[in-house]
Structure 1
Amino acid sequence: MDAHTDKQAEQDRIKDVYRRWHGGAALDRYAWHRPEILQQVAARSRAFAALLSETVGGDLSGLRVLDVGCGTGGFLRQLIDWGADPAKLTGTELQQDRLDHARHFTAGGVSWRLGTLDTMGLHGFDLVTTQTVFSSILDAELRRELAAQMWRTLRPGGWVLVFDFRYDNPRNRNVRKVTRAELDAFWPGERSRYRSLLLAPPIHRLLARAPWMVSDILTAVAPPLRSHFMYMVQKGG
């Protein structure tokens, strides 16, 4: 099997996993109204806000943003709420139904692209983001290719932002952790930020009926129990 065939097989596997997962019973554990999900969303928003304000600044209105694997557009809607201009935002996605959802529920002006990043010729972005995409790619070479494509779309001085898993999930062989060493090898940037966050979901679900303070304290005092990370790196001028 040649490299092109390997790459296509991995992309097809990823599409199939998301197609089977999206809309299935497993989504019930991630329903927006569940207490632990509400808490995780709040923690993630705080972390995003802190990192973005430290790097690209508090005024997002002039920022050109590319969200790779945008799903149903939730992160881009968050940026719009924080003042980003929809006309300067682009989201890419492999699944047509998710892209249709994003277009329907997001302010007009956002550019939505179906397909893989290497076919789109995009460039000049101030911020290129991706969330739980690298952990969905099991093939190491395809991970490196995506990282290089993201770097090429970024202008000098711009930032990459990644949110993903710190650990493997023994119950899900379609997910593989992303390490700090791997991230640093992908993008030899001038400055970087790394922050772990979110109590591991199995523990968080057990504590769902406890006061929020319990989960917050455990997350703060036990870093090894944090299941996710955020990473930002700046491209040199």
Structure 2
Amino acid sequence: MSELDEIAQRYARRAGQGDGADRYSLLRPEVWQMWQERQRELLKLLAKRPGQPAEWCATEVGCGAGGNLLDLLRLGLLPAHLSGIELLPERLAAARASLPEGVRLIAGDASSADIAPASQDLVLQSTVFSSILDDALQQRVADAMWRWLKPGGAIVWYDFTINNPRNPDVRGVPLRRVRELFPGCEPGRFTARRVTLAPPLARALPAAYGLFNLAPWLRTHRLVLIEKR
């Protein structure tokens, strides 16, 4: 069985164990606080990018049900300039139902997706690499993302950095590994910010999210901008 097949099986198993959409609903107080924090930090990074959002082309690896692509539309990117790649058919169908027809959606393996080289201003991934347990597949997907970027473009990376001992289906991706995946990124063009209160703590004490999040060592994820010269 390939790593892609195993990823699909792991997601199906988690869904069967009750890891459903409600856990990630924006109506949950811990979820909207995580989302708002990440959005604030992302917007700060994107505000420094050259050009206007309507001019940008962007692709998301692992677009899921399309939530991040909807955020880009709200930011001002045009549907015809957006692409999403998703391995799981049910998630791709959900994205198609929620996104404008002009957004291009691609099924299958991101490492072989039909995205033209040097065509994208932004390439995004959100908690995708932590679900890829095979180092070689991680590298192939990273190489494809880098290949798609225009000169001056950037990868937007959001993922957790430490292992979850209660979930063997994922593994943290430390910053050292992120740098290894993108060796073409020159010094000074790699900007990392520590975000997101540890989800178990956030779920247990959502009313205290802001207080506990003041401690950097309790933030488990990194938001990284990886720029291509």
Q: Same fold (TM over 0.5)?
A: yes
Which residue of the other structure, out of 161, 170, 173, is the alignment partner of 1:175?
A: 170
Residue 115 and residue 64 in structure 1: after superposition, are their counterparts in 2 closer, same or farther (change >3 A)? same
Residue 192 and residue 56 in structure 1: after superposition, are their counterparts in 2 closer, same or farther (change >3 A)? farther
Map Cα deviations across residues 73-123 of structure 1 (whole Å, 9 max, x no partner): 100000101111010000000111111111111122000000112333312
Matched, 1:193 2:191: yes
Q: Which moved more, 1:117-126 or 1:149-158?
A: 117-126
* Alpha-carbon RMSD: 1.6
Map Cα deviations across residues 161-204 of structure 1 (whole Å, 9 max, x no partner): 11001111000001111111111122231311100111101111
Matched, 1:145 2:130: no
Q: Which amino acid aligns with 1:33?
A: L
Q: What's 2:228 paired with?
A: 235
For 1:68-147, what aligned pairs fall within 5 Å after superposition? 68-123=61-116, 124-147=119-142
Measure the CA separation in 2 of the matches of 1:110 and 1:218: 38
Q: How far does residue 13 in structure 1 lie from its aligned partner after superposition?
A: 0.7
**Structure 1 unaligned regions, length at least 5:** 1-7
Measure the CA separation in 2 of the matches of 1:96 and 1:24: 19
Q: How far does residue 23 in structure 1 lie from its aligned partner after superposition?
A: 7.1
Q: How many residues align?
A: 223
Q: What's 1:32 paired with?
A: 26
**Identity rate of aligned residues, in percent?**
38
Q: How far does residue 216 in structure 1 lie from its aligned partner after superposition?
A: 1.4
Q: What's 2:59 paired with?
A: 66
Q: How far does residue 136 in structure 1 lie from its aligned partner after superposition?
A: 0.3
Matched, 1:160 2:162: no
Measure the CA separation in 2 of the matches of 1:131 and 1:172: 18
**Structure 2 unaligned regions, length at least 5:** none
Matched, 1:11 2:4: yes
Map Cα deviations across residues 10-61 of structure 1 (whole Å, 9 max, x no partner): 111101112333475222432331111121111121122112112356x311
Matched, 1:216 2:210: yes
Matched, 1:55 2:46: no
2:112–2:144 contact (8 Å) kept in structure 1: no
Give the SS at the match of 2:152. Answer: strand
Residue 118 and residue 205 in structure 1: after superposition, are their counterparts in 2 closer, same or farther (change >3 A)? closer
Measure the CA separation in 1 of the matches of 2:50 and 2:190: 12
Q: Which amino acid aligns with 1:189?
A: C
Measure the CA separation in 2 of the matches of 1:31 and 1:65: 25
Measure the CA separation in 1 of the matches of 2:35 and 2:146: 27
Residue 30 and residue 23 in structure 1: after superposition, are their counterparts in 2 closer, same or farther (change >3 A)? farther
Measure the CA separation in 2 of the matches of 1:201 and 1:93: 24
Q: Which amino acid aligns with 2:99?
A: T
Give the SS at the match of 2:53. Answer: coil
